[in-house]
Structure 1
Amino acid sequence: MDESTFALTPAAIAVPVLALINLIIDTPALIWHIKNRNLAASALVFWILISNLMIFVNAVIWPTDDTASWWLGYGLCDIETKLQVGLWFGVVGALACIMRNLAKVLDTERTVLSLTRAQRRRQIVVDCLLCFGSPIYAMAIHYVVQASRYYIFAISGCTPSFDRSWVKLVLVLIWPLILCIVDVYYSILVIIRMHRYRKNFSDVLTSSNSNQTKSRFLRLFWLSLILIVVAFPAQVYVLYENSVVALIPYSWDSAHGPDWLTIELVPSGGTVLFDRWIQIGAGFVLFIFFGLGQDAQAMYRKWLIKAGFGKCFPCLHSQRRVKEQRWSATDSGSRFFNKKSFRDSGLL
């Protein structure tokens, strides 16, 4: 066949380039949130980075429809497909944790100076279950409804397989939507409390002992809200598309029959699965809110100075000194207390 038939399409070029850009610009956000022990935000950035890493790798390995020359993805796709099943659980679970923590900051009726050890432990357990426990569950239970080894789509790459039974809806596909509903509930709760305290919003944040500035709070809120607004209809669509097909009774022998190890190779005609675009878009939205704030800029400046750029650009040192002087104007004991309380709240 003519080589022009398998020429690179615009999507085959754009997808890996955009995913690689996300990997570069979003990695500092992961480092910053891990350093500040922000479990929920770290998990959100982690899952978005993992998704973009898989998108980049897959688009590079399978860029055209030339299935005859394709590598069958042994090992790589076995891992990737499990991560993809757990991916949406992790994202919407992390969003639920973030919104829940923001709602607690604005809960003036239950404001505490510092969480007890039991309260901190309980909060960490809840965050871990939502951010990582639910994805692990999804990865494990997927085997029950895995109809074949996996699919490989051109550009989109490794894609998990599901059988056509109703069991897949109950065990896997409905749960990200349920978590999205939890996200929506906490989002509405935060919006109500923001409206209630709109006149003294900054005072409420100060009295919460969370060390949460108005700017940081709003960036967390708007980032999470935008992702929820996208994730909710996406999960509704996925559940709908898998519900309208003719569902069959579940059978373990049928789902794990002789053809279970089959690897389906699917030409795409230059198109990309819709969820890949969502994951790429999420990476850029994340950078806008996490990568352009004052905290991120201070971290970039610190890295540039350590790399020796401070000698070429003395202004990097002067900007750093200005920030340190602002911090020194605040009582050190108060800073320590507030930072501890901020970590207790789950937002740092």
Structure 2
Amino acid sequence: MVSHDPTYPLFPIASFLSFLLALVPLPWHAQAWNSGTCAFMIWTAVANLNLFVNSLIWKGNVRNPAPVWCDISAKLYIGVSLGIPAAVLCISRRLYCLLALQATSLTRADKRKMVAIDICIAIGIPVIGMVLHYVIQGHRFNILEDIGCYPSVYNVTLAYPLYLMWAPLLALVSLVYSVLTLRSFYLRRVQFAQLVSSTSGMSVSRYLRLMVLACVDIMFNLPLGILVIWIGGRGMGPDPWLSWEDTHYGFSRVDKFPAKLWRLDPMYEVSIELTRWLPVFCSFLFFALFGFAEEARKNYRKAFWRVASVFGIKPRPASPKAPKSLLPRYAICIIP
């Protein structure tokens, strides 16, 4: 099999590593009730696993050996394309609420309410998007050489409010929350550290890293969503939506596109490549921000010694420290 993908085998390697890296910080973020952050990690991991499998099976071919997998995979594309920006919206919203909150602390009931809202946004919106996609799904799915299963979106006017507008709209709302967060940060910068730690137990370092994550993702998701809409509107633009029967005529067919064909349009090729590389970038960005933090290193040490204890290896006990009252007051003068 000859692959026309210039990034092979870099992409499958990067996507599999991204799948693993996205899940590494999940346990301690789940313990801290960071539901938006957990949703971001889960959607990113799902996206990378899906992309990894497809990049291997459809390397240099457009065969259809696993139609059921393609049904699932194509729907996951829809879910991920909405799930990641929805999770970023949850993060942006949470950051704004924590900084603008007037209360001195969050009760357990408050945390449960925030988690419930995050789940409705980060899970509910993608699920609704996957269901509504069926309305403008022209046929079963597409197969793109070197890419794999890809969702079919019939380019009709109804496709824009039902699916194509959602991702840039979510990114735009996240952008508004981020601007409001920066404004609140500027107005309350003096008591920022005390406010963040008292309202949520969140460290200032984690708060700032989440701000960076949200802002960078918005910078990529918003232009990508606009680019997809612009590509769909080129030329004669979308066709009018006539009826359910017209849209779903010959629904069971599978369209197959060799790489030489779908790469003929440079803008379409750019949108496809950006769509599959963005989850990889998101995963590496997240791990760069959270994979080396103090809380991460602490959990790495716990995991290491937990595994090492299976083989009878235990950490060396810490040497007892002398009470401060017994230490010589003039030690700096005594030590030569």
Structure 2 residue 204 is the aligned partner of structure 1 residue 214: yes
- Change in Cα spacing, 1:311 to 1:261, as seen in structure 2 (3 Å) is closer
Select the structure of larger CA radius of gyration. Answer: 2
Q: Which residue of 2 aligns with 1:277?
A: 277
Q: Is there any run of 5+ residues in structure 1 with no aligned partner, and where?
A: 326-348
Relative to structure 1, is the Cα distance of residues 42 and 309 closer, same or farther in structure 2, using a 3 angstrom cutoff?
same
Shift of 1:145: 0.4
Residues 1:218 and 1:235: Cα distance change in structure 2 (over 3 Å)? same
Distance 2:193 2:25 in 1: 25
Q: Could you tell me how far apart the structure 1 residues matched to 2:7 and 2:310 are?
A: 40
Higher relative contact order (CA 8 A, sep 6+): 1
For residues 107-133 of structure 1, the C-alpha deviation after alignment (integer angstroms, 9 at most, x for no partner) is 15x22433473x445433321111000
**Deviations, residues 89-115 of structure 1 (Å, cap 9, x unaligned):** 21111111111111122115x224334
The reply to whether residue 11 of structure 1 matches residue 7 of structure 2 is yes
Same amino acid, percent of matched pairs: 26
Give distance in 1, aligned partners of 2:108 and 2:312.
48
Q: Distance in 2 between matches of 1:130 and 1:165?
A: 26
**How much does 1:193 deviate?**
1.6
Name the counterpart of 1:125.
116
Task: Tell whether 2:55 aligns with 1:27.
Answer: no
2:157/2:239 contact within 8 Å kept = yes
Q: Is the 8 A contact 1:20 1:53 kept in 2?
A: yes
Map of 2:40 onto structure 1: 44
Q: How many residues align?
A: 309
Cα shift readout 1:148-175 (whole Å, capped 9, x = no counterpart): 1111112221110011210010111112
Matches of 1:266 and 1:14 in 2, distance apart? Answer: 22
**Over the residues paired in the alignment, what is the CA RMSD in angstroms?**
2.5
Determine if contact 1:99/1:221 at 8 Å carries over to the other structure: yes
Q: How does 1:131-146 map to 2 (within 5 A)?
A: 131-146=122-137
Cα separation, 2, equivalents of 1:175 and 1:112: 35
Correspondence for 2:74: 81
How far apart, CA to CA, are the structure 2 residues paired with 1:216 and 1:7?
42
**What runs of 5+ residues in structure 2 fail to find an aligned partner?**
264-268, 322-336
1:313, 1:10 → 2: CA distance? 46
Q: Which residue is 1:330 aligned to?
A: none
In 1, the alpha carbon distance for the partners of 2:282 and 2:49 equals 13
The correspondence for 1:256, drawn from 248, 254, 277, is: 248
CA contact (8 A) 1:148 1:260 kept: yes
Counterpart CA distance in 2 for 1:218 and 1:311 is: 39
TM-score, normalised via structure 1 length: 0.81
Distance in 2 between residues matched to 1:131 and 1:313, nearest whole Å: 42
TM-score by length of 2: 0.84
The alignment status of 1:202 with 2:182, answered yes or no, reads no
